[in-house]
Structure 1
Amino acid sequence: MTLGLAGYLANGLTSGLGSGAALAANVPVIRYPAPQSPLDTRSLDLLSLLEAALRRTEPEYGPVRLQPTDEVLTELRQFAELDADRGILHMTWATVSVERRTLAKTIPFDARHGLLGLRIALVDERRLPDIAKIRDLAALRRLTIGQGLAWPDVDVLRASGIKVQTVSGYENLFRMLMAGRFDLFPRGVGEVFDEYEARHAQMPRLAIDPHLLLVYPYPYQYYFAPSQSALAARVEKGLLAMKADGSFDAHLWRFHGAAVARARLQDRLALRLTNPNVSPEAERGLEATLAFWRKPPPSQKR
């Protein structure tokens, strides 16, 4: 089931059979984070994958109702709420960090198969000639990259000696990029094109850099409040079943195949960065991740 933005912003959806209205009054509610703005579609794939995992395990565990939080929560607030376990938020999704593992329970399943660690930059089109001259990390270090406050990407970039300007507020990042506060705003391959299309009319100088590909291990996982250990086990069981029968890979290509093709990964200069928040095993798996996304999607194989 592929969810549209309208479904994501609605009052919730029910994982189960029969009437959603009838079920809603009788099944447990699982609260996930509301999007950061009306233009924020970054998590549609994660919500759809979660819903599929719950459907897969429904015969054993029963139905649940997924519902967004009543208020918008920053990532910092999300993990504070999970740690407090007050029922405002039951689960979220995020990349790994040492601190996050102490605040919430996670399951060791990369919901995006490393795609979020393949980064293409949004830029002011007036900077494109300068960015086209970059040939190595030394040249990249002369520029400044914009990132969200407390995003783990900041650790990755600074570990590689890259200057970072942190910004509070998702939409503010686009505004400050266009105001010249920093030079590049790297985005995941699965994010960048939707973000560009949603804002280009209001920001006509916004452009997608056609030259660089920043590459680093960046697993993306589901996190749960301490009281939701049974839910965590259920979601993991559903995800592993989807991985085993191929439906997880089908989900990846359904959501991200068009963006991967548009990104032309083979034609970009790949600059590899190290992620200090992941294990050496994750670092070693980076080449396999890049190879997975560089191969033709299943529909194009001969």
Structure 2
Amino acid sequence: MDTKGSAMRYLICLLAGLLSALATSAGAAPDVFILDAPVNAIDKRNDYTDKLLTQILRKTQAKYGPFRIEYAPEYMQRDRLLTELKKGDVVNITAKATRPDWESSELIPIFIPVDKGITEYRIALIRQGDQERFSKLKSLDELKKIPLGVGNGWSTRQVFQKLDFTLETGSDWEGLYQMLMSKRFDYFPRALSEVFVEYDDRIGRFPDMAIENSFMLYFPLPKYFFVSPQHPRLAKRVEEGFKMMINDGSFDKLFLDHHRELIARASFCTRKIFRMENPLLSDKTPLNVAEYWFDPFSGRKGRASARASCNSGPHAGARAN
């Protein structure tokens, strides 16, 4: 009896040792996340999503083990980025505004807006001296007749085109600022998370550039993490970690820590907001999940809010057309 018990204990210990060895071996190889590279050294558009991804992965370390974040060797336009993501070798994850072709491709989208949809609020860069022209606008139809600048491969180009705006496209992001100043178009709509940073970084080179101060554009165009189909484990890890951050409140905290000053600077309640539907959104867009979205006019619990800029003064609660 004792012999049998000793043999059983030995087998149990042996099995435990084998499982431990396997776990150690698995843990020795971190999950490697390869992000797309920025355009250049002053391109800060991905700073927030890079930080978000890092926090997501830290949340999942207990279950998934260590991780490493790397960057692709060079910047890629969206068509090439899509091709490389499908392969999953030089890049395997990105955070980009959604597009129908990206959702219908083999990529694995994580259907949670990485920035709570704040990029859906857009403020224009214009030329000094043109403010009065925009301040006099009374309708969205008037605005649509004025040529705007947009990147040829951007998701926003497809939406603006579908909504009948007058477009002037460019293939080079930095070149669009020069096109604005050269009067190739008259305004350059930028996401709330982009406009002030880009203006501050470039005003030295373009001293006649200005931030338009009378209106915003709004249409839903969520930015998601897209993961290579070659790496389903990475996608699963990101989705689980993201939901952990939502549930424990750390997502809202990171979002507000990063965007609070930009939200205040945007002056929501002093601007007309031209609201539009996005005809290109898929039925997988989680529009009915309130905690996923930023709302500048709501103080409802569970929703990151800029209510402090909108709940006092003559414009309290204002929602422009």
The TM-score with structure 2 as length reference comes to 0.80
Q: Does 1:163 align with 2:166?
A: yes
Q: Does 1:34 align with 2:40?
A: no
Q: Does 1:289 align with 2:295?
A: yes
Number of the residue aligned with 2:67: 64
Could you tell me which of 273, 287, 292 is aligned with 2:276? 273
Q: Does 1:74 align with 2:86?
A: no
Identity fraction in percent: 29
Number of the residue aligned with 2:97: 95
Preserved CA contact (<8 Å) 1:106 1:221: yes
Shift of 1:290: 4.3
Structure-2 change in CA distance of 1:83 and 1:94 (3 Å)? same
Could you tell me which of 226, 238, 241 is aligned with 1:238? 241
For the residues of structure 1 that align with 2:48 and 2:78, how far apart are their CA atoms? 18
Could you tell me which of 172, 175, 179 is aligned with 1:172? 175
What's the secondary structure of 1:66's corresponding residue? strand
Structure-2 change in CA distance of 1:284 and 1:166 (3 Å)? farther
Shift of 1:288: 7.0
Could you tell me which of 217, 222, 230 is aligned with 2:220? 217
Shift of 1:278: 1.3
Shift of 1:279: 4.2
Preserved CA contact (<8 Å) 2:147 2:168: yes
Shift of 1:155: 2.2
Shift of 1:276: 1.7
1:125-164 alignment to 2 at 5 Å? 125-164=128-167
Output the aligned Cα RMSD.
2.0
Q: Which moved more, 1:193-202 or 1:273-282?
A: 273-282
Query: Counterpart amino acid of 2:91?
Result: L
For the residues of structure 1 that align with 2:131 and 2:154, how far apart are their CA atoms? 25
Shift of 1:284: 7.1
Q: Deviation per CA, 1:183-205, whole angstroms, max 9, x where unpaired? A: 11111111111000000011001
Shift of 1:285: 7.7
Query: Counterpart amino acid of 1:99?
Result: D
What stretches of structure 1 move > 2 A for 4+ residues in a row? 25-29, 279-294
For the residues of structure 2 that align with 1:159 and 1:274, how far apart are their CA atoms? 10
Unaligned runs of at least 5 residues, structure 1: 1-24, 298-302
Shift of 1:224: 0.8
Preserved CA contact (<8 Å) 1:178 1:206: yes
Unaligned runs of at least 5 residues, structure 2: 1-27, 299-304, 310-321
Number of the residue aligned with 2:198: 195
Query: Counterpart amino acid of 2:307?
Result: K
Query: Counterpart amino acid of 1:242?
Result: M
Structure-2 change in CA distance of 1:90 and 1:285 (3 Å)? closer
Structure-2 change in CA distance of 1:284 and 1:58 (3 Å)? closer
Query: Counterpart amino acid of 1:88?
Result: V
Structure-2 change in CA distance of 1:170 and 1:288 (3 Å)? closer
